[in-house]
Amino acid sequence: MKLTGNVRKTTGYSQGGAQANVIAWATFLANGVSLAATVELNAGKVSGITFAATEKPVVLECEKDKVAGTFPTQFGASTYVKQALGLVLAGADTAKNAAAKAMDLTDHCYVVKDRRGTPWLFGHQNGLRAAKNDGGLGGASGDLNGYDISVEGAENDRPLELTLEAYNALAQLVAAD
């Protein structure tokens, strides 16, 4: 593959960071092989996501300014993209404990929206699993009560951009719950 066109600077602010809410779903069905969702691509962007009958996306309400996504290229015996997502679920409770355990044990896909309003799909092919999952009650009033989680995985490409229509359809599935 070679460069075939100009890459121009984007006009406007380039503020980093992702918005607080993350949409997630298990990457594979219970058999561990079949994908739980089919992603439709159009011009390199996700234009639709169709879920298996038993699957549905969920929302993870995270702390503001505590969601970050990275996708560095890893070089070595193999070259691949290591997609990673860090997030904070504040307020330790039973529901968040179950979510943290699921992120430890099961590969998931995650959709985050950056501050420019562009949604991104992480873990589309292989899924991301917890690489760090620190929970605590905190020792002082300023300490975190909850979970500081980092999920990561090896993917064949960088995260995929979603069209706003695909993101809005996904958000409607979560809102219907």
Q: To the nearest 10°, report the CA torsion of 136, 138, 143, 147.
A: 10
Q: Which residue has the tokens 């501050």?
A: 115
Q: How far apart are CA 121 and CA 158, in angstroms?
A: 9
Please give the residue that has the higher pLDDT: either 177 or 129. 129
Q: How many CB atoms lie within 10 A of CB 174?
A: 16
**Is the pLDDT at 13 greater than 70, yes or no?**
no
pLDDT tens digit sequence for 84-112: 999 999 888 888 889 999 999 999 999 99
- The pLDDT confidence band at residue 4, using thresholds 50, 70 and 90, is low
> Mean of the per-residue pLDDT values for the chain?
89
Tokens of residue 26, six digits: 């298990």
Q: Which residues contact 82 (CB under 8 A, 6 or more apart)?
A: 70, 71, 72, 73, 74, 152, 153, 154, 155
Whether 119 shows a pLDDT value over 70: the answer reads yes
State yes or no: pLDDT of 12 exceeds 80. no
Task: Render pLDDT for 35-89 as a digit per residue (tens, 0 to 9).
Answer: 999 999 999 999 999 999 989 899 999 888 889 999 999 998 999 999 999 999 9
Domain ranges (residues) in the chain? 21-175
What is the distance in angstroms between the CA of the first residue and the CA of the last residue of the chain? 43
Query: Which amino acid, 37?
Result: A
What is the structure's pLDDT at 19?
81
* Pick from 66, 65, 35: nearest CA to 49: 35
Q: What percent of the chain has a predicted confidence (pLDDT) above 90?
A: 65
